[in-house]
Structure 1
Amino acid sequence: MLLPHTLSLEENVLTARRTTALVITAALTLPLTTAAHPADHLDAGLPLEARVHALLGRMTLDEKIGQMTQIRVGKLRGDCDAVPGPLREDCMKPVLVDAKVGSILSGGGDFPAPDPSPKAWAEMTNAIQKYALDNNRLRIPVLYGADGVHGHSNVVTATMFPHQIGLGATWNPKLIEQAGAATGQAMRATGVFWNFAPVSDIARDTRWGRYYETYSEDPHLAGTLAAAAVRGMQTDDGRTARLAATAKHFAGYSEPKGGHDRAPAFLPVRTLQDQVLPPFTAQFRAGVKTVMINSGSVNGVPVHASKYMLTEQLRNRLGFTGVAITDWQDIRSLVTKHKAAADYPAAIAMAVNAGVDMAMEPSAAGEFTAGLRQVVRDGRVSERRVDEAVRRILRLKFELGLFERPYVDPAVANERVNGVGLDLARKAATESMVLLRNEKSTLPLAKGGKIVVTGDTADDVRRQLGGWTVDWQGVPEQGPVPEAVTVLEGIRAAAPGGTVAHAPGQAEAVAQAKDAKAVVVVLGEKPGAEGPADTEEPALTAAQQGLVDAVRATGKPVVVVLLTGRPQVLGSVAGADALLAGWLPGTEGGTAVADVLFGTANPGGKLPVSWPKRVGDQPMSYDQLPGTNGGESSKYDPAFAFGHGLSYTSFAVGAPSVPATVRADAKLKIGFTVRNTGSRAGTAVVPVYVHQPVAPLQVPDKRLVGWARVELAAGAQQAVEVEFSVEQLALTSGDVDGAGRREVPRTGYEVVVEDERAPFAVR
């Protein structure tokens, strides 16, 4: 079971922030019936906490419970359930007036009907907001949320960026911050001020259906990039209320047994604290305003019912002060799936007491509000705990500026969403490309001569965009399809007219290859999300391998482009002349692929994950602990290692220089040079690792602590400096139970850059 532990160096970093929160809480323990002017909370000139206190003091229990409830927009329109249509007063009244619900969400596919334009989105959210405010004696605005996981991805005309796994391959926090800002701008323009992104989980098992939603298998890389996304999404451009990002899914969600979504996870405390939680800590430092809770269980305890996870870890140790929301119907799941509670009121009490602030109860708001009212009145949940949750929710709404700017301008929504960010999407997709293999310099291709393009994803927008695009499982077969440049279209635009032949089938591809200069085979996987995207065979299919084998047999150079959300075991495809991982590259994916294939762009992406050789290599990560059987089976043996990625040029990295000693509470600066030794300009991504030769616990052979990303002209050299906090080397001490402090061992270490090492000691 999970056990408590003492404070560590990492925890002390957040002490000041926690102390501030405690001071605020102490100041607000005055009786909530303290006299206040009726409009105090609407006075923007008052301090934020005074406004929160004034408003909370005027609220009834039912009004407070309503603020803790979120329901999907489908309950407000159409048939008041599943059939879309215009908003209806008889649908809105039970939710916004009777249940006093304070938050609305669009799940995948919950877009305005029949018009899905950004303007229609803005009109819909405005109408909901107006109805709520007009029928709310305290004029508390609703907060509208959606999953903008790779752009404003519910909006068919929005620009879709690469999914997180592709952005992870860029190793470029600045770019990811820009993509986050573009996403936030599009969402705010439509009245959506809460984004259920980014995913903070680490990628360890390619069988898992949400693998593509993660940035990396490495905690530091994942946390750094997620923090950048948060900063971008929460950028305030002054034109609307602000947007809240969400760190999800707290915590351990990406470690399900067997790779099945929402399956139980079994995590030693040491693994939880040293690998799973650091990406969340990075986002808390970046100011993320909300967290979404892991739908599964950890060590046999449903996380929605775990006070250890939601209070001791999230609040007390990590210092998070924002709003904690459930995932889809997860309090009800304590009854229906986990069997942890006998009935819904018991589940509500369990979750709220554990630390849940808001319930995503998509279809039955009245049942949740009635259940919470019941358990408060019978003493199973204290009203003080309700006040704590509601105070966080109200604070969030005040921080976002919703009381002052609850509406958006529909007249400008289309121009702030449609086609906005295409250049950035192209740049992001291009930087995400990882050149895995390039025998005999097959790439870049010359533009003269015939090129055959084949494969199941060469001209398929749905596969290229992946899940969470327009709908939950991806672009539906029936309905609007986003505009996007497919790989076939990108190659045709880049190559001279008449030189590109599309061969949809294997026989045609073989026939066309006979007089071709090269064959480009584009392979992908069926789009999906969550459980439906789980797979026991994360591998290229027999048909896909057969196609590549057939065109290779013609003797022509074969380039395989992989548009997948996870590394696929390659089988015979591993022998192709060139392999390019393009991930799920988004709207401009085809243009980006063509840019790399023809050398307009030099690939600079690096794998943010390990690429397995065999289906049985699960879970896999470069930082796995060493085995002791003496055989090959216990070694790290991927097809392509974490950090792998080729270029059309070459680089030389100099030996690192570091101080001889450093304090455990300090930062360490590492200097080295990077030189472009080739004939093309290119981008070098140089990971910096630390090796600990001797440790009281098992540690990975090396741990990523930072990296340099350097753009260099041919022949150019640059001195670079990478700085990292020594705190990153902290380990959870103690025996098997991991009950000790999390602290940095005072011992000797080595910085590892490429094949060079430099020793230092922590004192």
Structure 2
Amino acid sequence: MRLRSRAAHIGLAVTVTLSGLALSATGASAQSGYQDPHAPIPARVADLLKRMTLEEKVGQMTQPAVLNMQGDCQWSGGTLVESCMKHVLTDLKAGSVLSGGGETPPQNTPKDWADMVNAVQKYAIDHSRLHIPIVYGVDAVHGHNNVLGTTKFPQQVGIGATWDPQLSEAMGESTARTVKATGPQWDFAPVEDISRDTRWGRYYETYSEDPYLAGSLGAANIQGLQKSGQVAATVKHFAGYSAPFAGHDRTEAHLDPRYFQDTFLPAYKDAVDAGALTLMVNSGSVNGVPAHASHYLLTDLLRRQWGFKGVVVSDWDDVKSLQTAYHLSDSYAGAAAIAVNAGVDMAMLPPGSVDDYVNGLIADVKSHKVSKARIDEAVSRILTLKFRLGLFEHPYVDSSQADGIALGADKDLAVRAATESQTLLKNDGNVLPLSTGLGKVVVTGPSADSIPNQDGGWTIQWQGIPDGVNDPGVTIYQGIKNLIGDHAKLVKDAGDAVDQTKDADAAVVVVGEKPGAEGVNDNETPELAADQQKLVDDLQATGKPVIVVVVAGRPLALGGAADAKQLLMSWLPGSEGGTAVANVLFGKANPSGRLPVSWPKVAGDEPMFYQQLAGTNSGTSSSYDPLFGFGAGLSYTSYAVNDVSVSGGRTVKVSVKVANTGSRDGDMVVPVFAQQPVSRILVPPNRLVAYTRVPLKAGQSTTVSLSFPLSRLAVTQGDINGSSTRSVVPGQYKIVAGGKSADLTVH
């Protein structure tokens, strides 16, 4: 979801006073039909649906941005304006509202949010014939990231590096509490796209290049987000969004059927199976068909094959794109008909599109381009969502509690997440961990003391924290200073940093990239900037220990910095990232992160992924030849896998004997791969089929038990057209963990 505006900082003009937060939306004392909270949800939906007019139904399928009701009711943001609320909520009868990146209330505090959402909700209920509450959506993609003072978790790619579904679930629970306290009930997260091209500007929003790792982490996050029953999660962006041509956001994805089915679809399927209540559509096109126009994706596959029962929402103004970008129709009404008939239930709409969508869809029904049955189907799903979230009984939140619940919540969890994500890639000579007794440590680099760089895009505003806005957090310099006090010397000038390192005990140089989002963040040559490479080179020339910390949302080609003897990938570690980085650098925590993606040597090696199929590879670097491979990551201790055993069946059971052979406690990530030595079709040389994190004391050994469904070995059969369905190929497999393997026979 995207936004092309800024939010003006002016005061709220509309407030709401609540004498009771648990009243029904109608306020009726005698309840019947859809008003009866004890009636089954299907019966309530059916009763309400039969009372609704066509205009009311189409309104439910409409999700205007809150910008449509703020300030100038176009792009200014600011105070809610009653005349515009009337137009959107009463005249057009909108059933949902969203705040995208930067679409905030004027003061942007948790209480300010709760007051704004309550005001929108109260107006919708009080000024509609049937008193149907709205469902309010927000992009809370690494915590409740739009709101000042909330805890910002690491971005998704960092969570991928943790290999920790339990952590992902806990983050979902935390985010849901904060989101709900501020009013919204619908979170547009998680992203289940697969990261295979670092040029793409949304790479950091994904979990992994591996379908199973991405799917399992996303499924866990969904379970956490929806555990309370008060917030809906969203699977996005269905499907194939992360493979745009040459990494340019929202361009055509060329995905052959086998690659699409075996690599891109499984993570979305895992999220659907986890019970996600909503799904957002890919803004781009796949193999010549815009996803918003794909009946195959949105109905045949999603509904009929996968059994998805929830709400399908468009991405930002993408119904209009069917007319203006893809030219599938010469009118907005025609575009709306195409999208709705394909399977879109609700349209996300910026200023300038709301009236056109509503009027166009009404005209489509009257001209029989969209059936009344299809409208009823979509509206039934939307109403079901609202009943499931309890909005008819509990439409409001207590804004007086919002600040207490949301401000600085769950910092310990954010520290844990950032710590687990720290991925140590080089530690020549075991220089790390550093001693807290060092006399002088120079801390330098553009991201050494920068919360905006740590948080990344989708923080406060779409492209990240804007200049002049201070959002609390612990920078890497502050984290180091908290451990060693004034022995930490922050030096911003590159030349001064080199000079001061000459008489220092060590230097920590924090490099990376600036925050950004979507197409603005696309990068044809994702590499460390030349001035940052020079800074690393000059610091290393002093002969002192130099620890390179990379703060970035994707692997960057490092140039000469790849020769650094100590290299830590910190990803985008969020507001508490400074504490996590410092704890790892100084041995308060043992690094346990493992790359969820492959790290190219040079910017030209794109796309890169460990499941690259075999070839004759006549050119240099034509085979899988990364700087750091998928799953790479070091520790301050050492681990061993001593044995692997397997028992077959519909569920494959794997036992792995592991040991901590070093002198420090640590968490061992144990990935289990499947190999197929002989196959009738090309299959990846390794496929992740199971994994776990194991806490091990120094010297401890144990046996861990894992399992996976045999169906995880399925591949698309057939010839070049890849037209066959996925199935498991009988034959011999090897199940591999840590260099040890066991044979598996599939009959």
Query: TM-score per shorter chain, which class?
Result: over 0.9
State the shift of 1:38 in Å. 8.5
> Is residue 628 of structure 2 the alignment partner of residue 636 of structure 1?
no
- Distance in 2 (CA, whole Å) between partners of 1:624 and 1:405 is 51
> Is residue 288 of structure 2 the alignment partner of residue 300 of structure 1?
yes
> Is residue 162 of structure 2 the alignment partner of residue 167 of structure 1?
no
Counterpart residue type for residue 467 of structure 2? E
Q: Note if contact 1:506-1:550 (Cα within 8 Å) is conserved in structure 2.
A: no
Match of 1:457 in 2: 447
Aligned-residue Cα RMSD (Å) equals: 1.1
State the shift of 1:514 in Å. 1.2
> Is residue 700 of structure 2 the alignment partner of residue 716 of structure 1?
yes
> Is residue 199 of structure 2 the alignment partner of residue 207 of structure 1?
yes
1:377-456 maps to which residues of 2 (within 5 A)? 377-448=366-437, 449-456=439-446
- SS of equivalent to 1:634: coil
Q: Note if contact 2:189-2:233 (Cα within 8 Å) is conserved in structure 1.
A: yes
Match of 1:77 in 2: 70
1:98-497 maps to which residues of 2 (within 5 A)? 98-113=91-106, 115-236=107-228, 242-363=230-351, 364-448=353-437, 449-478=439-468, 480-495=469-484, 497=485
- Distance in 2 (CA, whole Å) between partners of 1:92 and 1:38 is 28
State the shift of 1:207 in Å. 0.3
Q: Note if contact 1:247-1:291 (Cα within 8 Å) is conserved in structure 2.
A: yes
Q: Deviations over 1:3-35 (max 9, x none)?
A: xxxxxxxxxxxxxxxxxxxxxxxxxxxxxxxxx
> Is residue 88 of structure 2 the alignment partner of residue 91 of structure 1?
no
State the shift of 1:464 in Å. 1.0
- Distance in 2 (CA, whole Å) between partners of 1:43 and 1:223 is 38
> Is residue 49 of structure 2 the alignment partner of residue 56 of structure 1?
yes
State the shift of 1:632 in Å. 4.6
> Is residue 588 of structure 2 the alignment partner of residue 596 of structure 1?
no
Q: Note if contact 2:525-2:604 (Cα within 8 Å) is conserved in structure 1.
A: no
Q: Note if contact 1:180-1:232 (Cα within 8 Å) is conserved in structure 2.
A: yes
Counterpart residue type for residue 439 of structure 1? D
- Distance in 2 (CA, whole Å) between partners of 1:39 and 1:373 is 29
- Distance in 2 (CA, whole Å) between partners of 1:83 and 1:754 is 56
Q: Note if contact 1:159-1:425 (Cα within 8 Å) is conserved in structure 2.
A: yes
Q: Note if contact 2:164-2:692 (Cα within 8 Å) is conserved in structure 1.
A: no
- SS of equivalent to 1:468: coil
- Distance in 1 (CA, whole Å) between partners of 2:59 and 2:32 is 20
Match of 1:622 in 2: 610
- SS of equivalent to 1:379: coil
Counterpart residue type for residue 454 of structure 2? Q
State the shift of 1:443 in Å. 0.5
Q: Note if contact 1:708-1:721 (Cα within 8 Å) is conserved in structure 2.
A: no
Match of 2:639 in 1: 651
- Distance in 2 (CA, whole Å) between partners of 1:317 and 1:613 is 40
- Distance in 2 (CA, whole Å) between partners of 1:741 and 1:127 is 50
- SS of equivalent to 2:376: helix
- Distance in 2 (CA, whole Å) between partners of 1:604 and 1:75 is 46
- Distance in 2 (CA, whole Å) between partners of 1:514 and 1:89 is 64
Q: Note if contact 1:122-1:190 (Cα within 8 Å) is conserved in structure 2.
A: yes
Match of 1:576 in 2: 564
Q: Deviations over 1:229-270 (max 9, x none)?
A: 10111121xxxx710000000000001110010010011111
Q: Deviations over 1:186-206 (max 9, x none)?
A: 000011100000000000000
Match of 2:6 in 1: none
- SS of equivalent to 1:561: strand
- Distance in 1 (CA, whole Å) between partners of 2:267 and 2:77 is 38
- Distance in 1 (CA, whole Å) between partners of 2:324 and 2:355 is 18
State the shift of 1:630 in Å. 5.0
1:598-747 maps to which residues of 2 (within 5 A)? 598-630=586-618, 632-659=620-647, 662-663=648-649, 666-747=650-731
- Distance in 2 (CA, whole Å) between partners of 1:365 and 1:507 is 54
TM-score, length basis structure 2:
0.95
> Is residue 39 of structure 2 the alignment partner of residue 46 of structure 1?
yes
Counterpart residue type for residue 222 of structure 1? A
- SS of equivalent to 2:646: coil
Q: Note if contact 1:101-1:365 (Cα within 8 Å) is conserved in structure 2.
A: no
- Distance in 2 (CA, whole Å) between partners of 1:299 and 1:197 is 25
- Distance in 2 (CA, whole Å) between partners of 1:340 and 1:516 is 64
- Distance in 2 (CA, whole Å) between partners of 1:71 and 1:629 is 51
- Distance in 1 (CA, whole Å) between partners of 2:145 and 2:329 is 35
- Distance in 1 (CA, whole Å) between partners of 2:174 and 2:617 is 50
- SS of equivalent to 1:686: strand
Q: Note if contact 1:626-1:634 (Cα within 8 Å) is conserved in structure 2.
A: no
Q: Deviations over 1:711-738 (max 9, x none)?
A: 1111011110111111001111122222
Unmatched tracts of structure 2, length 5 or more? 1-29
Counterpart residue type for residue 223 of structure 1? G
Q: Deviations over 1:545-586 (max 9, x none)?
A: 000010111100110000000000111001112000000000
Percent of aligned pairs sharing the same letter: 53
Aligned length: 716
Match of 2:23 in 1: none
Counterpart residue type for residue 348 of structure 1? A
Q: Note if contact 2:501-2:539 (Cα within 8 Å) is conserved in structure 1.
A: yes
- Distance in 2 (CA, whole Å) between partners of 1:647 and 1:413 is 40
Q: Deviations over 1:435-480 (max 9, x none)?
A: 00000001001122110011011011111110000000001114x3
- Distance in 1 (CA, whole Å) between partners of 2:683 and 2:55 is 51
State the shift of 1:298 in Å. 0.4
Counterpart residue type for residue 597 of structure 1? L
- Distance in 2 (CA, whole Å) between partners of 1:283 and 1:123 is 32
State the shift of 1:83 in Å. 2.1
